[in-house]
Amino acid sequence: MAALVNHQAPNFTLDSIEWANLSERTVQLADYSGSWLILIFYPRDFSFVCPTELIAFSAEIGEFQKRDCQLLGISVDSLELHREWLTTPREKGGLGPLQFPLASDGLGQTARAYGVWDGEKRVAQRGLFIIDPDGILQYSVIHNLSVGRGATEILRVVDALQTGGLCPATWTAADGTIDAESVLKPGQVLGHYRVKRLLGDGTFGSVFAAWDLRLHRDVAIKILKRDLTTSREALLAEARSAARLSHPNICTIYSVDEEAGLPSIAMEYLPGQHLGDLLKHPLSEARARSLAGQIATGMASAHQQNIVHGDLKPANVMVMPNDLVKILDFGLARTYRARNSPKGTAVVGQSGGQTMITELPEDDDPTTIIQFEQIAGKSEEDSFDVEETLLENDGRAFGLTGTPAYMSPEQCHGHPATPQSDVFSLGLILFESLMGHRAMSENNLLHLLLHLQEETLAEELAAQVPPAYQPLLSKMLAYDPALRPSMRTIESQLNQS
């Protein structure tokens, strides 16, 4: 069976020899762990075509090394014949100073494992395989004798694999990668999904309406952005955690996968309206109570399974035509566990009449504190969208994660989200639903974060809502997370008739 791309590359143990000192050594796939490896199979030493190809690859060894990529030539010939070929001058058909080793696969076992064994001629075909640092086969090709193998072409392929780009035939590393969001158009098929239309763009990626060709149903496909500073793998891992959730008030995640090199999340298609859009107009008290109660119900289920949302806000809540609430975009969701303050804890404060954010390194070394000072009316943060999600590794985020206008005080300090953080965020949503305007009205990021740290915030906001909601809201917005009620308690109080 031939080696398969995107699967573990077949192991090998081969004797090899290098031109530099003509020393012999045994090589295994494991020896190349942590580096890229190109296996170049060829039929015989002293053959007509092979010297030209191998010499061409040798001439570009510096370019391969820049890409942390090693080369290994393999044929059925013995080490003795390899030695003779390496020491024979090129004008007499030899290789001369080849810059990578040649290995002997005398019985063709490695050639068989990689699917390039010619049983009739008992030699390897001209196969080329690219293996990534984790030992996964990423590229394979078998060339006809009439088709030359060019080092430049293989360098282009390595560049494409290492950058994760979708690359046309004329692509070079200088061109950059193709923006998947811009090339996906209605009618195109991604995996087993046919794209219908773009639904919207968010912090983590673009969302498309699509048709599931296997299960014959509408779905929404989120394609993660390539330029995310936050690890795409981490986001996919969190999405897989959220996929465990099954509740009427939570958007169902069907699959988390990678199609054509594009990390994607397939989820329930929701033909409703974002709560953020609904809140542009006043809601009745009964409707505000119902919607907030449903959010609490869904989040109580998530918390019961130790899943925290981390970015609960109106834009991440969908309201269906029958007023059924669906919580979506668990993009910052995480499996909750007790942990210490993270590296990069953000602190907001004032000094000498100036407002600043400081980002403390893990060792709190004052010599490495990064300060962002803002003098009233002159900060570039004035134009920052406080309803936009911040990611911890974003250069603008100062170690923060979440949406400032719906963030808890502890998140403002750089701490990770907890169930109590979600409760605080829901308190801000409940206030907005009842009052018709955002609780944190500041559009300046620094002013907003300072306001969030005021211990009288709960009392200030609770006093503005109808009396029936004041006791609950003051607890939900308590500065001390330990004083906030659980989502199950909130659900019970809001859903009382």
Q: Which residues are catalytic?
A: 50
The residue count of the chain comes to 497
Q: CA-to-CA distance for 351 and 210, rounded, in angstroms?
A: 52
Q: Measured in whole angstroms, how far is the alpha carbon of residue 124 from the centre of its chain?
A: 39
Measured CA to CA in angstroms, residue 322 lies from 271, 291, 295, 319, 484 at distances of: 11, 11, 15, 8, 31
Q: In the numeric block, which tokens belong to residue 116?
A: 């390039």
